Amino acid sequence: MQIAIEQEAHAYILRLKGELDASTCLEVDKEMEVAIGKPIEQLWIDCEGLSYISSAGLGVLISHLGTLEARQINLVLYGMSDHVKNVFELLGLHLLMTIVPSKQDAALQAK
Protein backbone atom coordinates (compact mmCIF):
# COMPACT_ATOMS: atom_id res chain seq x y z
CA MET A 1 0.00 0.00 0.00
CA GLN A 2 1.26 3.40 -0.97
CA ILE A 3 -0.34 6.52 0.47
CA ALA A 4 0.33 9.90 -1.06
CA ILE A 5 -0.88 13.01 0.72
CA GLU A 6 -1.97 16.12 -1.09
CA GLN A 7 -3.38 19.27 0.43
CA GLU A 8 -5.42 21.65 -1.66
CA ALA A 9 -7.14 24.85 -0.65
CA HIS A 10 -10.46 23.04 -0.20
CA ALA A 11 -9.44 19.47 0.68
CA TYR A 12 -6.93 17.15 2.32
CA ILE A 13 -6.47 14.17 0.02
CA LEU A 14 -5.23 10.65 0.77
CA ARG A 15 -4.30 8.93 -2.48
CA LEU A 16 -4.35 5.15 -1.99
CA LYS A 17 -2.52 2.71 -4.25
CA GLY A 18 -2.54 -1.05 -3.78
CA GLU A 19 -4.54 -3.26 -1.45
CA LEU A 20 -6.26 -2.02 1.70
CA ASP A 21 -6.35 -5.09 3.91
CA ALA A 22 -5.39 -6.26 7.40
CA SER A 23 -1.68 -5.79 6.69
CA THR A 24 -2.05 -2.20 5.44
CA CYS A 25 -5.09 -0.81 7.25
CA LEU A 26 -3.00 0.53 10.17
CA GLU A 27 -1.14 2.83 7.77
CA VAL A 28 -4.40 4.25 6.45
CA ASP A 29 -5.79 4.53 9.99
CA LYS A 30 -2.74 6.55 11.05
CA GLU A 31 -2.98 8.90 8.05
CA MET A 32 -6.70 9.42 8.65
CA GLU A 33 -5.99 10.32 12.29
CA VAL A 34 -3.39 12.85 11.14
CA ALA A 35 -5.86 14.34 8.67
CA ILE A 36 -8.66 14.53 11.23
CA GLY A 37 -6.31 16.38 13.59
CA LYS A 38 -5.83 19.15 11.05
CA PRO A 39 -8.14 22.15 10.63
CA ILE A 40 -9.86 20.84 7.50
CA GLU A 41 -13.43 20.74 6.24
CA GLN A 42 -12.94 18.15 3.48
CA LEU A 43 -11.16 14.78 3.58
CA TRP A 44 -11.03 13.09 0.21
CA ILE A 45 -9.82 9.57 -0.40
CA ASP A 46 -8.61 8.97 -3.94
CA CYS A 47 -9.34 5.32 -4.69
CA GLU A 48 -8.18 5.28 -8.31
CA GLY A 49 -5.18 3.13 -7.41
CA LEU A 50 -7.03 0.98 -4.88
CA SER A 51 -7.15 -2.54 -6.31
CA TYR A 52 -8.72 -4.35 -3.33
CA ILE A 53 -10.38 -3.60 0.00
CA SER A 54 -10.98 -6.13 2.76
CA SER A 55 -13.30 -6.01 5.75
CA ALA A 56 -10.37 -4.68 7.81
CA GLY A 57 -9.92 -1.84 5.32
CA LEU A 58 -13.62 -1.06 5.40
CA GLY A 59 -13.48 -1.14 9.20
CA VAL A 60 -10.83 1.59 9.25
CA LEU A 61 -13.00 3.89 7.16
CA ILE A 62 -16.11 3.14 9.20
CA SER A 63 -14.29 3.63 12.51
CA HIS A 64 -13.62 7.29 11.70
CA LEU A 65 -17.14 8.23 10.58
CA GLY A 66 -18.26 9.39 14.03
CA THR A 67 -15.20 11.58 14.58
CA LEU A 68 -15.47 13.04 11.08
CA GLU A 69 -19.11 13.91 11.69
CA ALA A 70 -18.39 15.39 15.12
CA ARG A 71 -15.65 17.60 13.66
CA GLN A 72 -17.83 18.50 10.68
CA ILE A 73 -15.34 17.10 8.18
CA ASN A 74 -16.91 15.94 4.94
CA LEU A 75 -15.51 12.57 3.79
CA VAL A 76 -15.64 11.93 0.05
CA LEU A 77 -14.27 8.85 -1.69
CA TYR A 78 -13.71 8.99 -5.44
CA GLY A 79 -12.24 7.11 -8.37
CA MET A 80 -13.25 3.60 -7.26
CA SER A 81 -13.02 0.70 -9.66
CA ASP A 82 -16.28 -1.13 -10.27
CA HIS A 83 -15.03 -4.04 -8.16
CA VAL A 84 -14.26 -1.88 -5.10
CA LYS A 85 -17.46 0.14 -5.52
CA ASN A 86 -19.50 -3.07 -5.61
CA VAL A 87 -18.10 -4.04 -2.19
CA PHE A 88 -19.30 -0.73 -0.74
CA GLU A 89 -22.71 -1.09 -2.37
CA LEU A 90 -23.21 -4.73 -1.32
CA LEU A 91 -22.64 -3.73 2.29
CA GLY A 92 -24.76 -0.58 2.05
CA LEU A 93 -21.79 1.66 2.83
CA HIS A 94 -22.61 3.92 -0.10
CA LEU A 95 -25.51 5.07 2.09
CA LEU A 96 -23.12 6.12 4.90
CA MET A 97 -20.32 7.63 2.83
CA THR A 98 -20.21 9.98 -0.11
CA ILE A 99 -18.82 8.12 -3.12
CA VAL A 100 -18.41 9.97 -6.40
CA PRO A 101 -16.80 9.02 -9.72
CA SER A 102 -14.04 11.64 -9.92
CA LYS A 103 -12.04 14.33 -8.18
CA GLN A 104 -14.07 16.93 -10.06
CA ASP A 105 -17.24 15.46 -8.56
CA ALA A 106 -15.63 15.58 -5.11
CA ALA A 107 -14.98 19.28 -5.64
CA LEU A 108 -18.67 19.78 -6.41
CA GLN A 109 -19.51 18.17 -3.04
CA ALA A 110 -17.39 20.84 -1.33
CA LYS A 111 -19.50 23.70 -2.63
Alpha helix ranges (H) inside 37-81? 55-63, 65-70
111: confidence class by pLDDT, cuts 50, 70, 90 = low
For domain 2-110, give the CATH number. 3.30.750.24
Exposure on the CB side of residue 13, measured as CA atoms within 13 A: 21
- pTM recorded for the entire structure: 0.94
pLDDT, position 10 = 82
**For the chain, domain boundaries:** 2-110
Return the higher-pLDDT residue of 44 and 8.
Answer: 44
Q: Is the pLDDT of residue 52 over 90?
A: yes
pLDDT, one tens digit per residue, over 59-82 is 999 999 999 999 999 999 999 999
Q: Is the pLDDT of residue 25 over 90?
A: yes
pLDDT, position 14 = 98
How far apart (Å, rounded) are the C-alpha atoms in residues 65 and 73?
Answer: 9
